Amino acid sequence: MTTEQYELEYIIDKIYDEIDFVDVKPYSHNIISIWFRILEEQYGKGEVVEIINNTDLYDAGWGWIVDEYWEERDRKRQEKKAKKKKLKIVN
């Protein structure tokens, strides 16, 4: 967990600064992953997913984050739906 709070635009700029170096510089994947972790902790996974969807990072190795995000949202939606259905039956 990070202790320093970063501005959203600062984090996004740092990620975009590294995108051109993916598969060119040896640590670009690590740097982007670290910034994604900070972004998720401070602003939520939706922000991470938005950047991945708006860039070529999905196909560069971060697509699993998007897939996992939507699977989790779908699972929560199904659980909520089942809970509502169960409440209707009880009432």
4, two tokens? 């320093």
Position 84 confidence tier, pLDDT thresholds 50, 70, 90: confident
Give per-residue pLDDT as tens, 56-67: 999 999 999 999
- pLDDT at position 4 over 70: yes
For the chain, the average pLDDT equals 90
What single-letter DSSP state applies at residue 61? I
Answer whether 35's CB lies under 8 Å from 14's CB.
Answer: yes
What's phi and psi for 54, nearest 5 deg? -95, 5
Distances (CA, A) of 53 to 3, 78, 80: 27, 24, 26
pLDDT of residue 87: 67
Examine the pLDDT at 37 and tell me if it is beyond 60.
yes
Question: Does the structure show a pLDDT above 60 at 91?
Answer: no
